[in-house]
Chains A and B, each alone.
Chain A
Amino acid sequence: MILHAGDAKVTYDKENQDVKFEGSMRLANMKEYDQVTEFLKENTNGLAGKLTLDFTELQFLNSSGITTLSLFILNCKKKGDVELLVKGSKDVAWQQKSLANFKKLWSDIHLEI
């Protein structure tokens, strides 16, 4: 399953339970991020086991995007069905600086940078 959101592509690989973010995601506001929230919900609803959020190829994410993904992570924490692995790249500055915030939201997250 693929979602094109602005200059970003979000791909869900069902077999590996992996969501890959690529490009630059700088949508105008939270409302515009609803499409990303819906995409994540539709594809991960009822899922159990490991779920990977792979940001290594995402060059930019604005604060509305960080908020959207933070709310998704808080929702996963609340449901408690999945084990989250968040992958980032040390070569992409925003990931080095801001992905750690996700682990602060839910200490059980495995963060790989």
Chain B
Amino acid sequence: MEETIIGKYNIIPENLPAEGDVFIRLKPIDMIAYWKRCGMLADFAAAFYAYTRDEPTVQENSISTVFNELIENATKYSVKRGAEMTIHMMLYDSVLKIQIENITTDQHFESFKSHLTNLLESDDLDTMYFEILAEKSEGSTDSGIGLLLLLKDYPLDIGAKFTKENGRNKVTLQAFYRLDDDE
């Protein structure tokens, strides 16, 4: 087994009890076949966590936006068949942890590792945003700015574990959303 950890990963001890512990297991093909399911899951997660907050409407929109980007990314880059994707959400006081685990192709495994490293090491995400846009043309199929926008515009920490085991490439992405910084 080969393991690489990038960014802020497991920054909350795993044995700490969480509120609102939600676990979802699904098949990427079911999301690809009906894309709207990404948004539906995001809206569910947002409604589930936001209604207890002081500004539920504003936070519902934020949580849904963050969750949607994470689930869209995982769906797009998952092995489509014969693999599952899991989502684990836990609320620790004012920090919402969203963990998404999926199995990817060799090619995406390496390119995502490199992309995430670049994002987390950058001290100027605005410039990176402009540079990525400048490389885009109207024929581009992938925007490539989802995680960048989340890191740039939302109070969020991100980390990931990349595991190669038995010929499978597993990506475990963790996002820690500081809800109090968003009110």
Residues of A within 8 A of B141 (CB): 29-31
Q: Tell whether A39 is near chain B: CB-to-CB under 8 Å.
A: no
0 or 1 for each of A69-100: is its CB under 8 Å from B? (1 = yes): 01100100000000000000001111001100
| Cβ-defined contact, B38 with A105, below 8 A | no
Residues A105 and B39 in contact in the complex (CB < 8 Å), given A30-B143, A62-B146, A92-B61: no
Total interface residues on A, using CB and 8 Å? Answer: 31
Q: Tell whether A64 is near chain B: CB-to-CB under 8 Å.
A: yes
**Which of B58, B64, B65 is the most central at the interface, judged by chain A CB atoms within 10 Å of its CB?**
B65
Main secondary structure of the interface of A (DSSP, over half): helix
| Cβ-defined contact, B129 with A101, below 8 A | yes
Total interface residues on B, using CB and 8 Å? Answer: 33
Stretch in B86-94, B106-114, B132-140, B162-170 touching the partner: B132-140
Q: Tell whether B12 is near chain A: CB-to-CB under 8 Å.
A: no
Residues A26 and B61 in contact in the complex (CB < 8 Å), given A34-B138, A63-B146, A63-B149: no
Q: Which of B34-64 contact A (CB under 8 A)?
A: 35-36, 38-39, 57-59, 61-62, 64
Q: Tell whether A59 is near chain B: CB-to-CB under 8 Å.
A: yes
Residues of A within 8 A of B140 (CB): 30, 67
Residues A63 and B36 in contact in the complex (CB < 8 Å), given A98-B149, A104-B126: no
Main secondary structure of the interface of B (DSSP, over half): helix
| Cβ-defined contact, B36 with A66, below 8 A | no
Cα–Cα distance between A68 and B136 once the two chains are bound (Å): 10
| Cβ-defined contact, A101 with B153, below 8 A | yes
Closest to B147 in A: A63
Q: Nearest Cβ in chain A — how far from B65, in angstroms?
A: 5
Residues of A within 8 A of B69 (CB): 62-63
The one of A6, A59, A68, A74 in contact with B36, judged by C-beta atoms closer than 8 angstroms, is A6
| Cβ-defined contact, B146 with A93, below 8 A | no
Q: Tell whether A11 is near chain B: CB-to-CB under 8 Å.
A: no
Q: Which 4 pairs of residues, A with B, have the shortest CB-CB distance? A: A67-B143, A63-B146, A93-B61, A93-B62
Chain A to chain B contacts (Cβ below 8 Å), 13 pairs: A26-B38, A28-B35, A30-B141, A31-B141, A60-B64, A62-B72, A63-B143, A67-B144, A71-B138, A74-B133, A92-B61, A93-B61, A97-B153
| A residues neighboring B (CB under 8 Å) | 6-7, 24, 26-31, 34, 37, 59-60, 62-64, 66-68, 70-71, 74, 91-94, 97-98, 101, 104-105
